[in-house]
Amino acid sequence: MARKYPEYKQLNLSGISQEILKYWQDNNIFEESISSREGKPSFTFYEGPPSANGLPGIHHVMARSIKDIFCRFKTLEGYQVKRKAGWDTHGLPVELGVEKELGITKEDIGKSISVEAYNEACKKAVMRYTDVWNDLTEKMGYWVDMDDPYITYKPKYMETVWWLLKQLWDKDLMYKGYTIQPYSPKAGTGLSSHEVNMPGSYRDVTDTTIIAQFPAIKNEAYSKTFGDAVKADDKVYFLAWTTTPWTLPSNTALTVGKKIEYVMVETFNMYTHEAQKVVLAKNLVGKYFKAEQKDQPQADYDGKGKNIPWTIVWEGVGADLLELRYEQLLPYALPYENAENAFRVISGDFVTTEDGTGIVHTAPTFGADDAKVAKEATPPVPPMLVLDDNENPVPLVDLQGKFTKHMGEYGGRYVKNEYYADGEAPEKSVDVEIAIKLKEENKAFKVEKYVHSYPHCWRTDKPILYYPLDSWFINVTQHKERLVGLNKEINWKPKSTGEGRFGNWLENANDWNLSRSRYWGIPLPIWSTEDGTERKTFGSVEELKAACDEAIKAGLMDSHPFESFEPGNMDEANYDTVDLHRNVVDQIVLKSSAGEPMRRESDLIDVWFDSGAMPYAQLHYPFENKEKFETQYPADFIAEGVDQTRGWFYTLHTIAGLVFDSVAYKNVVSNGLVLDKNGHKMSKRLGNAADPFETILKYGADPVRWYMITNAQPWDNLKFDLEGIGEVQRKFFGTLYNTYSFFALYANIDGFEWNADQQTNVADRPEIDRWVLSRLQVLKQNVMNSFNEYEPTRAGRAMQQFVDEELSNWYVRLCRRRFWKGEMSTDKQMAYETLYECLFTVSQLMSPIAPFFADWLYQNLSSHLPEGSKEKSVHLTYLGEARAELIDERLNDRMKMAQQLSSMVFSLRKRESIKVRQPLQKMMVPALKPETVELIESIQDLVLSEVNVKELEILKDVSGVLVKKVKPDFKKLGPKYGKLMKQIAGAVGKFDQNDIAKLEEQGHYHLTLEGQEVELLIEDVEVSTEDIPGWLVMTENGITVALDITLSEELKNEGIARELVNRIQNLRKDSGLEVTDRIALRVQKADGLETAISENKGYITTETLTETLEMTDNLTEGLEVSFDEINTKIHLEKV
């Protein structure tokens, strides 16, 4: 007989993944899953481009599973789901990698290596790991079109980015500014706020901190403010704290809070022991002065010890201190302009008295707040900018992070020891040296080590500097409201990320700093005249080419970089003649309206702009694909990690909002982190990172995906535990595999063949079939709803529950006999059809999450079907709607009852140690309500066969036999009686059998509680039975079961027969017989065995497929078996 349904020896999920993957590749299943939906409504997904410059981790499997699930599901629903892969190719990580490889630094670029060669190296490096990524993509079963990915360094992509910038320019949303920015001297670039806020960039560091003493200048204002508190020869200092002593030479102001209370304290310097008076915030006094020493006579101080006396000699508020002046602390240099306005006390809102002294050291060149308050003061406080050799104003620290020559003995030294190459850092950092110097000069009030968190460059790992840089900005602030409004149209999963995290972020959004002073990226398409009075921006190669033509005519340029480019020709070959990177465009000198040369603004744009531009740039919009773009914008769905909230999610949203006044995506899933099993972050350093390839190879992609999706909601962090995958493998996939194997085994024996057109009528099938089909349709509804609501966890868990509990451990278990017995029959046919349908539907429903196994299952089920009635893959099938007409909730109630009754009988058997193989005569179930009676009648056969009992009697209400119990229905009574509820419950609890009888007879019961009349209705309570005197009884959830455990001879013999059958079956199996083999059986005689066999001969022989059964006295061969009190031997052979 031909086997229609493949049978397997064991489940090998990893093998299945590989085998199915090959099948997909050989048959172009992915391509067909898209082409077969041509003309159907499209569902648009945008792939967030990974950078192929680094290796993928296990968290990528998580993120990509989520993406894949919804794309596959929508395909099943009939949508056409195009998904183009993409690569993020620009940016600092690539550059730094290349520098390291070539052994160069940023300074060498353009000198020892040409920009062109450097960019070429970057281009090569960036795609280095594409193979690894593609490999993972395939092995994990992520379907995305990798043959034609968008690549951000391609001319077409870059041209669209230029076009977008031009749109912003035309809307007057771009401007050049000068701001204090996070700057990484080692990387040689400013960092965007997203970069500074990358997870892990803030780190605890120990710095030398100084409370410096700024000597007050004794002028008119000074006398006016302090009056009698100060004497002519007093030394008075303002105390200000800094964690960055290297900024002290750049100090140009002190900032106080107007309303903060300040005091002047008369005391001694702890290092020089000189007498002095210091000013600081009043409520920080306790932090620096010991209470015991307060108001001790100054004259008693010995000038050495630590018990320094102190006395408050003046009190006031910040406003009193404004415009006081002080001597420059470290006079290395003066601001090149308006130096007379420096070294004053000014006010600022941000001053607090939480730490420090309540007076803030202000260095406008190295602090964003500092620059702001300095600018706002009247007159403005100048920043410490000095003139370099070219007469250009520069700060006292250069772009490498070194002090300039203006800094005397410190000139040329790095301001932080971390910036030195390994082993070259001096023992004392400049911070420490400055501290020593200040101590010696009586300008340090206190020096100490301090641990605080400080941002680090995410790539170089070195601390960042805040540094004044020229920059181009996108004016986001202006359209903040609109962006917030658009965000409300987006369906966020989870909601809180959108409303809370992302929403708050938008509301506080700052202008987007686009500038990056690097080489490998998309150049700003802005050309300026020397003095910056005229600027031009280009939104296409064509425009730029025209401008070049003009420049050449004017003699500003010799050669034409786009000589052979043909405007309007969209061929790849044409675009291959263009390169828009710095090595080319920096050579372009254009002509201003006055004939002056114009050069390009030297910065590149933030790479985040590249990725945020992908909806447009992947299609080379608007130069090509206009119609296609219309149908694919905005995205229906995107997904990335929650860490992208301020990354890709933000840039997509901002560009869409500012340029198109639209959302870029309608639904977004932001998934949480993948942590190790102890809840710690995975990192290569700690060695707790799981390798995605190893994991997939070992377990197969499906269990990994299934585990990740079902273990926790995607947006909760996942505690990734390999044992959890093992559990999924055993419990879910193992069970489903067993169910299929069971089906295949018997379907092949019986020659069952699925035929969609010749089905038995579902309505005619047995209760249990209709039940499981009803459950199946409920499952289908649940799963489809869950997927449509972007709740994959719910969908997965529902399937798991169905397969394990309902299909395998209830349906198949109860129906086993239907498959075993005898020849093919209608009932068998029905059982096969039912089980087939369940497996088939499950294969479809699970395919988004477990694409390989689902397809394997589907193909096993369908390979024998005639052409035209099957698809090549489950992923090409159409799911269709759930068949609501098959759902019958009452069936479900009945089945629940059956399960409960069975479990109760098992429990009773267990209590009396009567094994299930021993048949029992009778069980009784009391049922008071007619519905319950009906319910039990409908499932009694099921229960009886499950628990091996011969009859079930339903005890209708026979007073005296049953002991009843009554329980108030809180939901009904609560609202009616409110506070009396407790008393009612107490009274009802005390009802005896007579009270219950009375309530049941009359339908109501009168109670007087706390003087209040209570009329208790029968509907307000639940009456149940609790006991049947004289029987073995159990009660659970209001259902009672009684079991007759007396064993007649007949029952005993039947039990023995069953034991024997069991032993024979084991022997059959051990002898390696097929389940269909027929046997000749010989059994040695034993006490009590013969009658048992003769009474049950028919049963024994059919069960074991025995042709001849012989009882002998002396069986020499054969297996010894013993059970109950019987010892015998059995022997069988195949006939």
Partner RNA sequence: AGUCCCGUAGCUCAGCUGGUUAGAGCGCUACACUGAUAAUGUAGAGGUCCGCAGUUCAAGUCUGCGCGGGACUACCA
Q: How many CA atoms does the CB half-sphere of 666 hold within 13 Å?
A: 12
Indicate whether 243 belongs to the interface with RNA (CB under 7 A): yes
Q: Out of 340, 716, 937, 1125, which residue is the one contacting RNA (CB under 7 A)?
A: 716
User: If DSSP codes are grouped into helix, strand and coil, which group holds residue 451?
Assistant: strand
354 lies in the site for RNA, by CB under 7 A: yes
Q: Which of 171, 231, 488, 684 is catalytic?
A: 684
Sign of CA dihedral 995, 996, 1002, 1003: positive
Could you say which of 378, 390, 508, 994 contacts RNA (CB under 7 A)? 508
Among positions 788-827, residues that touch RNA (CB under 7 A) are 804, 808-809, 812-813, 816, 820
Q: How far apart are CA 562 and CA 544, in angstroms?
A: 9
Phi-psi region of 428 (alpha: psi -120 to 50; beta: other; left: phi over 0): beta
Contact residue for RNA among 982, 1004, 1097, 1134 (CB under 7 A): 982
527 part of the active site: no
> Is 33 one of the binding residues for RNA (CB under 7 A)?
no
Strand partners, 451: 206
**364-383 binders of RNA (CB under 7 A):** 367-369
Q: How many helices (H) and strands (E) does the chain have?
A: 40, 40
Q: Which residues from 885-924 bind RNA, rule CB under 7 A?
A: 903, 906-907, 910, 913, 915-917
Which residue of 94, 263, 351, 704 would you call a contact of RNA, by CB under 7 A? 351
Choices 8-16, 50-58, 618-626, 995-1003 (CB under 7 A): range interacting with RNA: 8-16
Distances (CA, A) of 313 to 211, 231, 329: 20, 11, 24
Annotated catalytic, 375?
Answer: no
Question: What are the tokens at 546?
Answer: 């025209």
For the CB of residue 903, give the shortest distance to RNA in the complex, in Å: 4
Which part of the chain contacts RNA (CB under 7 A), choosing from 629-637, 640-648, 691-699, 929-937? 640-648
Please give the span between the terminal C-alpha atoms of the chain, in angstroms, as a whole number. Answer: 19
Cβ distance 600 to 585 under 8 Å? yes
Is 681 marked active-site? yes
Nearest distance from residue 203's CB to RNA, in Å? Answer: 10
Shortest distance in whole angstroms from residue 347 CB to RNA: 12
Using the rule CB under 7 A, which residue among 960, 979, 1010, 1117 binds RNA? 979
Q: Yes or no: say if 415 and 402 are a contact pair by the CB < 8 Å rule.
A: yes
- Site residue total, RNA (CB under 7 A): 105
| Gap between the Cα atoms of 939 and 920, Å rounded | 18
Q: What token pair was written down for 595?
A: 């004939």
The mark string for 206-225 relative to RNA (x by CB under 7 A, - otherwise) is ---x----------------
Q: Which amino acid, residue 866?
A: P
Q: Which residue among 50, 56, 185, 356 contacts RNA (CB under 7 A)?
A: 356
- CA 444 to CA 434: how far, in whole Å? 10
The answer to whether 976 and 1016 have CB atoms below 8 angstroms apart is no
Dihedral of the CA atoms 1066, 1071, 1075, 1081 (nearest 10)?
Answer: -80
* Mask for 718-737, x = binds RNA (CB under 7 A): xx-x-xx--x--xx--xx--
Report d(CA 4, CA 508) in Å as an integer: 64
DSSP string, 703-737: HHHHHHHHHS-TTSPEEE-HHHHHHHIIIIIIHHH
The angle subtended at Cα 546 by Cα 542 and Cα 552, nearest 5°, is 140
CA distance 461 to 191: 13
- Catalytic residue of the set 133, 169, 241, 648: 648
Residue from 525, 828, 1103, 1130 in contact with RNA (CB under 7 A): 1103
Residues numbered 424 to 453 that lie near RNA (CB under 7 A) are 452-453
Among 642, 725, 882, 1028, binds RNA (CB under 7 A): 642
State the nearest-atom distance from the C-beta of 1037 to RNA, in Å.
7
User: Which residue of the set 80, 644, 940, 1084 is catalytic?
Assistant: 644
Name the catalytic one among 49, 523, 615, 851.
49
CA atoms within 13 A on the CB side of 1114: 0
1084 is catalytic: no
Q: Find out whether 139 and 17 touch, Cβ atoms under 8 Å.
A: yes
Contact characters 153-192, RNA, x per CB under 7 A: ----------------------------------------
Does 87 qualify as catalytic in the annotation?
A: no
For residue 621, how far is the Cα from the chain centroid?
Answer: 31
- Site for RNA (CB under 7 A): which residue of 34, 110, 113, 202? 202
Question: Hunting for tokens 């195009």 — which residue is that?
Answer: 82
| Residues 6+ away with beta carbon under 8 Å from 167 | 539, 659
In the region spanning residues 535 to 564, those forming contacts with RNA, defined by CB under 7 A, are: none
49 flagged as catalytic: yes
Torsion, Cα 348 350 355 356, to 10 degrees, reads -30
Q: State which of residues 81, 122, 174, 240 lies at the interface with RNA (CB under 7 A).
A: 240
For RNA, the binding residue among 149, 335, 395, 455 (CB under 7 A) is 455
Binding to RNA by CB under 7 A, coded x per residue (else -) over 663-702, reads: ----------x-----x-x---------------------
Strand bridging mode 665-671 / 491-493? parallel
Is 1114 a binder of RNA (CB under 7 A)?
Answer: no
DSSP 8-class letter at 151: E
Catalytic site residue 608? yes
Residues 925-954 contacting RNA, CB under 7 A? none
Q: Which is nearer to RNA, 774 or 899 (CB)?
A: 899
Residue numbers 60-119 binding RNA by CB under 7 A: none
Six-digit token pair at 1041?
């079961």
Q: Which of 218, 437, 681, 698 is catalytic?
A: 681
Binding region for RNA (CB under 7 A) out of 291-299, 384-392, 502-510, 845-853: 502-510
Q: Is 504 in the site for RNA (CB under 7 A)?
A: yes
Which is nearer to RNA, 225 or 645 (by Cβ)? 645
Q: d(Cα 775, Cα 761) in Å, to the nearest integer?
A: 17
Residues designated as active site: 49, 88, 608, 644, 648, 681, 684
